[in-house]
Amino acid sequence: MYRLQRPRAAVPYGLRRWHLAALPVLIAVAVGIVPLPAGWPYWVDHPGSAILAVIMPASLAGAGLLLAQGTGSRKTGLLFVTAAVLYAVGWVLARDTGLYPLISEYTQSVFFLTLGVGILLHGRSRFDRWYEWAWVAEALVILLGAQVAVTLTVAPEQVGYAPDVVWFDVGVAPEVGALVSEGAAVAYVVLAVTFVLVLVLQQRRPSTRGPRNGVAVLMVSGVFAVAASVIQYPIMSAGTTLSAIIAARSAQGTAAILLPLTLFAAALRTAWVENTVAAQLITRIGHATPDSVQRALGAVLRDPGLEVWYWIPGATAFVDKDGRIRRPEAFAPTDLEIRTLDGEPLAVCVPGALPASGDAVLAVAFEACASALQAVQLQLVHAEEMRDVQDRLMAAEDDGRKELARDLHDGVQQDLAALRLQLTGLIGQAEPGATRDRLRECGERVVAVIEQVRAISRGLHPTSLAHDGLAGALEEAAESFGRRIRLDVPAERFAPRLELAMYYILSEALTNVIKHAEAESVYVRVELARHAVVGEVVDDGCGGAVITLGGGLHGVEDRVRALRGRFELASRAGQGTRLTVTFPLIGATS
C-alpha cells in the first residue's frame, strides 16, 4: 500500500544544497582519515596502501550516505556507512600487541558480512526470497564460525602476529590448526560463490518490492566477492606474516573501491529517473482522464499492460477505466493500493508485468499524478452517480413496459377478442348482402388489430423471455420480422435483467436492419465469454449507420452504459453493419 504524502515544508535552497552535498562529503572525509594516524609508521614505507586505505572507507561512506537519502536503497546506504566505519576501525586496530589483533580479525569478518548484506539489499526494503536469508545464515556461520575456529586452533605466530598477543589458542597440534585454516579458506571461497549465485538469482527473479539490480552492479559485486576470497586464501595458511596480512587487506580494499563507485553511479541514474518522472507524467497526462492517466503511468513505468482502478465509495468497490466493477478479493499480491492523505482508498495500480521501477520511482510517480488520480476519481464517481440514475430510470421504464404489455394483453386484447366473437355471431345472424359483408370486413379488421396489439405487447415485454429465455424470445422476434435471419443463441439462461437488456438491444438492431439496411442476410449471435456475455448483429446491407441523439442506437448505447457494458458499431457505407455489445455477467447463470 502507498499513501500520498503531505507536501514537505519549504527548505531554503542554500541549506538544502549544504545538507545534500557538503555533509556527506565531510563525513566521508572524516571516515577516510581515521586510518592515517593509526597506521602512520607503516604508511611511510607504503604510500600506495595509505592512499587506498583513505579512498576505500571514504568512498564507501560517501556512497552509503547518498544512497541512504533515497527510499529504495536506504538500508543499503546505512549498511555501507557501517562497513566503511568497520574498515577504518580495522586499520586502527592493525597493531601487533594486546587485544588489537583479535578484535581486528573479528572486525574484518563483520565488515564482509555487513558489506554483503548491504549489496543484496540494494534497491529493496527487505529480503523476500528464501535463498537471500539462506546466504545470510551461511555468512554468519562461515565468517564468524570460521574465525572462532581459527583463533581456537591456530597459534597467533602462525598467522603473522606476535606470540604474546591475547589469543584464544587452546594448544592443539599445528597439523590440526593447518587443517582448520585450510577449511576456513575453502569455506570463504564457497561463501563467495554462493554470494554470486544469489546475485544472479536476484537478477533473474527480481523482487516485487524493488528494482532489478543492474548488470554492472551484479558484475562488480561478483568480482569483488571472488577476489576477496581468493586474496584471503593465502593468508589463512600457517607461516603468514603481518606484512602479508596488511598487503592482503590493502588488495581487498582496492577491489572493494569499485563497489561504492558502481552503486553511486546507479544511485545517480535512479535520481535522474526520479527527477524526470514527474515532468514526463505531467506532459503525457495533459487533461486528466481515465485513459490518459493509465497510458501515462504505463509509459513512464515501462509497463504497457498496467491498469489503474479507482475506488468508488458509493459502490464500495473499485472500477476500471471502462467503469467495470473490480472487487478487492480479485487483487493480486503485486497490486499496489494508493490511499489519500487521510488513509482513504483512492486507486489500485495493477501491473501488467513485474515492476521495472523501484519503490522510489513508484513513489515519485504517484506523488506527481496525485491530483490527476483524484480528478479522475471524481469523474468516475460522478459517472457512477449518473449511471445509477440512468439505471433506475431504465428499471422504471422496464417496469412500465411490463405493466403496459400486461394491460394490452389482459385488457385491450381480451376486449378485442370478445368483440370479434360478437361480430362472428352477428355475421351468422345477418342475411346475405351488404350488411353481412360489412360485418365480415369489420371482423377481419378486428383480427388485424389483435395481431398488432399482440406484436406491440410482445415488443414491450415478451412473455416468451420469462419462459423460454433469450433464445426463445429472439427466435419469436425473428419470425415476426418475416426476413431470413440466422440465429446462433445458446439456450443457457442469464440473469433476468441481462436477458431483458440483451433482447431490447438486439431487437432494436434488427428493427434498424429491416427498416434501413436493405440487407439480404442477417446474423444474430450471442456468446458466453469469460465473465461476460457478447451479443452481435451483422448484416450485409448498405451500411453507413451512425449514432444520432434521440435515435434508436443512442438509446441502445445508454442501456449498455447503464449495465457497465461496452458498445461497438462498425458500419462503413456499402460494407454492411456490425453491432456488438458486451455485458459483464450479472448474477449467476442458471
Q: How far apart are CA 159 and CA 150, in angstroms?
A: 10
pLDDT digits (tens, 9 = 90+) for 310-320: 888 877 788 88
Give the confidence band of 588 by pLDDT, cuts at 50, 70, 90.
very low
pLDDT digits (tens, 9 = 90+) for 214-273: 566 667 677 767 767 666 656 665 556 666 666 766 676 666 677 777 766 766 666 676
Q: Which residue has the cell 549465485?
A: 197
Q: Where are the domains of the chain?
A: 13-277, 285-385, 466-590
Q: What is the pLDDT of residue 114?
A: 92
Mean pLDDT of 18-39: 72
Q: How far apart are CA 528 and CA 489, in angstroms?
A: 10
Q: How far apart are CA 332 and CA 309, in angstroms?
A: 13
Helix (H) or strand (E) holding 136: helix 130-139
Give the confidence band of 500 by pLDDT, cuts at 50, 70, 90.
confident
Q: What is the pLDDT of residue 586?
A: 60
Residue 33: count of CB within 10 angstroms of its CB: 14
Q: What is the pLDDT of residue 328?
A: 64
Q: What is the pLDDT of residue 231?
A: 66
Q: Are strands 325-326 and 336-339 parallel, antiparallel or unpaired?
A: unpaired
- Which has the higher per-residue pLDDT, 110 or 451? 110
At 415, the amino acid letter reads D
Mean pLDDT of 373-396: 81
- Which has the higher per-residue pLDDT, 589 or 266? 266
Sign of CA dihedral 390, 391, 393, 394: positive
Give the confidence band of 580 by pLDDT, cuts at 50, 70, 90.
very high
pTM: 0.51
Superfamily covering domain 466-590: Histidine kinase-like ATPase, C-terminal domain (3.30.565.10)
Ranking 11-15, 471-475, 583-587 by mean pLDDT, the lowest is 11-15
Asked if the model's pLDDT at residue 137 lies above 90, the reply is: yes
Contact 153, 180 (CB under 8 A): yes
Q: What is the pLDDT of residue 559?
A: 80
pLDDT digits (tens, 9 = 90+) for 329-377: 666 666 788 888 778 888 888 887 655 455 567 777 888 888 888 898 8
Mean pLDDT of 544-558: 79
Burial bucket for residue 521 (CB in 10 Å: 0-12, 13-18, 19+): middle
Ranking 42-56, 143-157, 230-244, 449-463 by mean pLDDT, the lowest is 230-244
For residue 37, give every residue at least 6 positions away whose Cβ sits within 8 Å of its Cβ, in sequence order, or none. none
